[in-house]
Amino acid sequence: MSHDLRAPLRNICGFAELLRKHLADQLAPDPKRQLEIVAAEARRLDQLIDSLLQFSRLSRAELQHRRCDLAEVVAAVRAELAPTQGERPVEWHIGPLPIVQGDPTLLRQVFANLMGNALKFTRGRVPALIEIGVELTPSGATAPREHTLYVRDNGAGFDPRYRDKLFGVFQRLHSAKDFEGVGIGLANVQRIVARHGGRVWAESVPGKGATFFVSLPMA
0.95 exceeded by pTM: no
Q: What pLDDT band is residue 81 in, cutting at 50, 70 and 90? A: very high
Domain boundary among 31, 60, 89: 60
Identity of the amino acid at 132: I
Domain match, 118 and 141 both = yes
CA distance linking residue 46 with residue 11, whole number of Å: 12
β-pair partners for 133: 150
Domain match, 54 and 137 both = no
Write down the pLDDT at residue 202.
Answer: 93
Domain match, 27 and 77 both = no
Domain match, 28 and 113 both = no
Domain boundary among 60, 79, 102: 60
pLDDT over 80 (residue 177): no
Q: Are 149 and 142 in contact (CB under 8 A)?
A: no
Cβ density class 187-212: b for 16+ within 10 Å, e for less: bbbbbbbeebebebebebeeeebbbb
Q: In terms of residue numbers, what domain contains 135?
A: 66-217
CATH of the domain at 198: 3.30.565.10
Indicate the number of domains in the chain: 2
Q: Are 202 and 213 in contact (CB under 8 A)?
A: yes
Domain match, 131 and 201 both = yes
Q: What pLDDT band is residue 126 in, cutting at 50, 70 and 90? A: confident
Domain match, 41 and 127 both = no
Domain boundary among 42, 60, 78: 60
Domain match, 159 and 83 both = yes
Mean pLDDT of 67-86: 93
- Name, in order, each residue with C-beta under 8 angstroms of 151's C-beta and a sequence gap of 6 or more: 111, 114, 115, 118, 130, 131, 132, 211, 212, 214
CA distance linking residue 25 with residue 81, whole number of Å: 41
In percent, how much of the chain has pLDDT > 70?
75
